[in-house]
C-alpha cells in the first residue's frame, strides 16, 4: 500500500520560483516542497548574472520595457512585460527582506551592472554568483519555516487529476512521486499544486544547466491536458567554458557587459560584422555569430578576452569565474578563455495567465517551466530571476485568495507496480539519453532546417516507442523518469520548430531565413486538453 502525504499546497521544484511561492504562502498555510535532489541543486544556484530592476535615476521603467520588447523580437506579450518590469523594484526589495545580500559599492549603494540588451545599468548582483546567494538565502528561510516541509530526493512520475463533482472542470489534486532513497512511489495530494521545475536544456548535448533541467514540469502538464507554447525558442548562451574536464560551466553575461571581447583563434575580434552593439548584441545574435565562425573556420571553440581589465577589477567582480578557470589552468586576467555556445534557457513552456494558473484547475506553473509571454522569441539577460519572483508572488496571492473555496479531493488510487520487474539492461537508458541529446544538438540546435527537423522527429518517435516499452515493463527509477520527460519535451520542441515558417529570435532556419510580417505564438494543444472555464490571459 502506498504512503499518502497530504498538505494544503504542494510545490514541485525548489528553485527561486518554487521557494518564493512557498515562503509567501507559509505565512498562513502548510506547504510541501518536492526537490529532485538537494534544495540548492537547481538552475537558480548556477545563475551568475543577476536580477534586473529599475533603481538608477537615469533609468526608467519604460526603458526596461522597451529593451525587453526589442530583445523579444516582436513576440513579447506587452501586458506581461509591463507588469513584470513595474513589479521589479518590489521583487528586489522582497529578496533583500529575505536576506539576499547584493553587492554594494564603497558608499554602501547597490552596485548595478549592465548586460546584453539592457540600455542602462540595472542588474542587481552578488559579485558573479547571484544565483547562489539567492538560492542560499531563500533555502535558509525555507528550512527554518515551521509551515514548510521539504522533501529532497523526490521525483514526480505523473500528476493526479480528478473530475470536480460540482462542475465540468478537471482539477489537479497531487502527484505520484518516487522517493529515490526508499525506492518507492508515494501519493502526494493537495488542494493546489505548483509546477516550478525549471527548463529543458538537458535535451541538448552542450548545456550550461545542471543535470535536473529535464523539462519535467512541461511533460507533466502536457500529459495532464495543458497547452504549451513557443518551445522552439531555446536560448543558447554564447559563452560556456570549453575544456575537456569542465562540465557545463557558464561564463556570465556580465563579463561582456563589463567589456570582455570575443576573439577568433587568431586573436581577431569579429562581432562588429554581425551587430552594431558587438559583444553586447542580444544573445541569439552572439550565439549564431559564434556558431557561424566555428563552422566557417572548422575550429572547436572561440575565445573570451578580459585581460585588458585591471586584475583588481576582475578579482572584485568575477571571483568565482576566476577561481573556477584557475582550477583548469586558465588565468582570466592573463589568458584568453576558450568558449562555445551552449543550451541555456527554455523561453517557451506551459501556458499560464497573469496569476500563473494553467489550463488545469488548481495547477499553477511559475519560473522557467511556464510561458508567461515575458520573453517572447528571446529572453533578455537577468529577466528570468525577476520573472521567478514576480510571478511566484502573484501565484501565491491567487492561491491564498482561492484555497478556502476549493472542495476536498478524493483520495487517489495507489501506484500499481505489481506487474513490473527489475531490469538488468539499464544501459538502454544511458544509450537513449546520449542519442537524444546528440541529434537534438545536431538537428534542432542554433541553426535548423526542415530536413534536419524531420530527421529529428523520426528519431524522437523511435526513442519514445522504446522508452514507453521500457517504462511499461520495468520498475522505474530517476533516470528513466527524466528520460521519459525529456524525450516528450524534445518532441514538442521539434513540432513547434517545424510549425514556425520564419526565422525569429532564437529560432533560425535555413529554409525560412526571413522574418514574417505576422508575429504569433506557436501553441500546441494536447488531445486531452483540460481547460473548460479557465481563461488564459494572452495577447
Q: Hey, which residues are catalytic here?
A: 283
Coil vs helix vs strand at 161: strand
Strand order in the sheet with 123-124: 51-52, 123-124, 112-113
Integer Cα distance of 444 and 468 in angstroms = 23
**Angle made by CA atoms 84, 74, 523, in degrees to the nearest 5:** 85
* Helix ranges restricted to H, 403-476: 427-443, 450-473
Distances (CA, A) of 304 to 128, 244, 253, 343: 16, 17, 11, 18
Cell of 451: 530536413
- DSSP secondary structure of 317-360: H-HHHHHHHHTTT--TTTSPEEEEEEEEEE--EEE--TT-B-SS
Q: Are the beta carbons of 354 and 77 closer than 8 angstroms? A: no
Q: How many CB atoms lie under 10 A from the CB of residue 162?
A: 17
Any long-range contacts for 178-183 (C-beta under 8 Å, 24+ apart)?
178/154, 178/476, 178/477, 178/478, 178/481, 179/151, 179/153, 179/154, 180/153, 180/154, 180/155, 180/477, 180/478, 181/153, 183/477
Cell of 419: 506487474
Q: Which residue from 4, 453, 504, 531 is spatially nearest to 221, judged by alpha carbons?
A: 531
How many residues does the structure list for the chain? 539
Coil vs helix vs strand at 207: strand
Q: How many CB atoms lie under 10 A from the CB of residue 295?
A: 11
* Helix ranges restricted to H, 350-426: 384-402
Integer Cα distance of 220 and 224 in angstroms = 6
Amino acid at each position: 500500500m502506498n504512503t499518502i502525504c497530504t498538505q494544503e499546497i504542494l510545490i514541485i521544484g525548489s528553485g527561486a520560483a518554487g521557494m518564493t511561492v512557498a515562503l509567501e504562502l507559509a505565512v498562513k498555510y502548510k506547504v510541501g516542497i518536492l526537490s529532485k535532489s538537494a534544495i540548492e541543486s537547481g538552475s537558480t544556484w548556477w545563475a551568475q548574472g543577476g536580477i534586473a530592476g529599475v533603481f538608477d535615476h537615469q533609468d526608467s521603467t519604460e526603458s526596461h520595457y522597451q529593451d525587453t520588447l526589442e530583445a523579444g523580437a516582436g513576440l513579447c506579450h506587452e501586458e506581461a512585460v509591463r507588469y513584470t518590469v513595474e513589479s521589479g523594484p518590489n521583487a528586489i526589495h522582497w529578496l533583500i527582506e529575505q536576506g539576499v545580500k547584493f553587492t554594494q559599492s564603497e558608499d554602501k549603494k547597490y552596485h548595478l551592472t549592465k548586460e546584453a540588451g539592457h540600455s542602462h545599468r540595472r542588474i542587481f548582483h552578488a559579485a558573479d554568483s547571484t544565483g547562489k546567494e539567492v538560492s542560499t538565502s531563500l533555502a535558509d528561510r525555507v528550512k527554518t519555516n515551521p509551515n514548510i516541509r521539504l522533501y529532497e530526493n523526490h521525483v514526480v512520475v505523473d500528476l493526479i487529476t480528478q473530475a470536480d463533482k460540482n462542475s465540468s472542470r478537471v482539477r489537479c489534486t497531487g502527484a505520484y512521486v518516487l522517493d529515490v532513497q526508499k525506492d518507492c512511489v508515494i501519493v502526494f495530494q493537495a488542494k493546489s499544486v505548483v509546477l516550478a521545475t525549471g527548463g529543458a536544456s538537458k535535451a541538448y548535448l552542450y548545456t550550461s544547466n545542471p543535470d535536473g533541467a529535464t523539462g519535467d514540469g512541461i511533460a507533466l502538464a502536457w500529459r495532464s491536458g495543458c497547452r504549451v507554447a513557443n518551445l522552439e525558442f531555446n536560448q543558447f548562451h554564447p559563452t560556456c567554458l570549453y575544456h575537456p574536464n569542465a562540465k557545463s560551466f557558464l561564463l556570465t553575461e556580465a563579463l561582456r557587459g563589463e567589456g570582455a571581447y570575443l576573439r577568433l583563434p587568431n586573436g581577431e575580434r569579429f562581432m562588429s560584422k554581425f551587430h552594431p552593439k558587438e559583444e553586447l548584441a542580444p544573445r541569439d545574435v552572439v550565439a549564431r555569430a559564434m556558431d557561424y565562425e566555428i563552422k566557417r573556420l572548422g575550429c572547436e571553440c572561440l575565445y573570451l578576452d578580459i585581460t585588458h581589465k585591471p586584475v583588481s577589477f576582475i578579482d572584485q567582480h568575477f571571483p568565482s569565474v576566476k577561481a573556477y578557470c584557475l582550477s583548469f589552468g586558465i588565468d582570466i586576467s592573463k589568458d584568453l578563455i576558450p568558449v562555445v555556445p551552449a543550451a541555456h534557457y527554455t523561453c517557451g513552456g506551459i501556458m499560464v495567465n497573469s496569476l500563473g494558473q494553467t489550463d488545469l484547475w488548481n495547477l499553477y506553473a511559475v519560473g522557467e517551466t511556464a510561458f508567461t509571454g515575458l520573453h517572447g522569441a528571446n529572453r533578455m539577460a537577468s529577466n528570468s530571476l525577476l520573472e521567478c519572483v514576480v510571478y511566484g508572488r502573484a501565484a501565491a496571492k491567487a492561491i491564498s485568495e482561492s484555497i478556502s473555496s476549493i472542495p476536498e479531493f478524493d483520495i487517489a488510487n495507489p501506484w500499481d507496480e505489481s506487474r513490473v520487474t527489475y531490469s538488468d539492461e539499464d544501459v538502454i537508458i544511458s544509450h537513449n539519453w546520449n542519442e537524444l541529446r546528440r541529434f537534438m544538438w545536431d538537428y534542432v540546435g542554433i541553426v535548423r532546417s526542415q530536413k534536419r527537423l524531420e530527421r529529428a522527429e523520426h528519431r524522437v518517435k523511435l526513442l519514445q516507442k522504446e522508452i514507453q516499452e521500457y517504462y511499461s515493463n520495468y520498475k522505474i527509477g530517476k533516470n528513466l523518469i527524466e528520460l521519459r520527460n525529456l524525450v516528450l519535451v524534445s518532441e514538442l520542441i521539434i513540432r513547434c520548430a517545424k510549425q514556425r515558417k520564419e526565422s525569429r529570435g532564437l529560432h533560425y532556419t535555413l529554409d525560412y531565413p526571413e522574418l514574417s510580417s505576422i508575429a504569433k505564438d506557436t501553441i500546441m494543444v494536447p488531445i486531452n486538453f483540460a481547460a473548460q472555464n479557465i481563461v488564459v490571459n494572452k495577447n
